[in-house]
Amino acid sequence: MTVKKTNTRTLVLILMIAVAIAFRLLSYKFQVLSNFTPVGAIALFGGAYFADKWKAYIVVLLGLYISDVAINYLYTSKLILWSSSSFWVYLMFAIMVFVGTLIKKVNVLNVFLASLAGVCIHWLVIDLPFLYGDLYPHTLAGYGQSLINAIPFERNMVFGDIVFGALLFGGFELARRKYTILNTNPQLAV
């Protein structure tokens, strides 16, 4: 793949991720959309499409970090660069990028299954009771209560991953078929 082709593909992927990340700000304005965001779909999309996988981790995690800082500022009017749970949040999204790298053939079933796996990872990691101080007892029962209370948020994440996954994966596949410069290997437009 030529340098120009690589740069064009990378730029298109970054722009698509940046536009999707901008939708995160809607959850601030419309709180009913809490967790109906593109974050899981972005992680899977980056993992699936960046030829250099390190770029997937950098672009996705940096994009999420910048949008987290902006969203935290909107909610608190304070510049919060890191919190006690930040490590776990970004570790979980790094795992979701890895799940995206496992998508070898992009189709509806594979993207859907990866989305479900990503939501399960998010649910099981982010709802560990010790991440919330004293909100839940640091016991198995506290973890169970945290998981139960998170169901509405995780349901919204499933829907967000489905909608944004369809837009990101579907949009890129359509563009890739029309513009061969977006392909990773020499092939004709379909």
pLDDT digits (tens, 9 = 90+) for 49-66: 999 999 999 999 999 999
Residue 188 lies in a domain: no
The most confident of the ranges 35-39, 77-81, 112-116, 148-152 is: 112-116
Domain hosting 116: range is 3-182
Categorize the per-residue pLDDT at 125 as very low, low, confident or very high, splitting at 50, 70 and 90.
confident
pLDDT surpassing 90 at residue 100: yes
In this structure, is residue 187 part of a structural domain?
no
CB 63 within 8 A of CB 13: no
**Its pTM surpasses 0.85:** yes
Pairwise CA distance, residues 176 & 184, whole Å: 9
* pLDDT confidence of residue 189: 34
Of 13-22, 58-67, 135-144, least confident by mean pLDDT is 135-144
Evaluate whether residue 190 is within a structural domain. no
**Residue 10 scores a pLDDT above 70:** yes
The per-residue pLDDT for range 140-186, each reduced to its tens digit, is 998 999 899 989 888 988 999 999 999 999 999 999 999 888 887 54
Q: What is the structure's pLDDT at 5?
A: 58
Q: How many domains does the chain have?
A: 1
**Residue 136: inside a domain:** yes
User: Quick check: is 189 in a domain?
Assistant: no
Does residue 173 lie within any of the structural domains? Answer: yes
* DSSP string across the chain: --HHHHHHHHHHHHHHHHHHHHGGGHHHH-GGGTT-SSHHHHHHHHHHH-SSHHHHHHHHHHHHHHHHHHHHHHHHSS-----TTHHHHHHHHHHHHHHHHT--S--HHHHHHHHHHHHHHHHHHHT-GGGGTTSS-SSHHHHHHHHHHTHHHHHHHHHHHHHHHHHHHHHHHHHHHH-GGG-SS-----
- Residue 17 domain-assigned (yes or no): yes
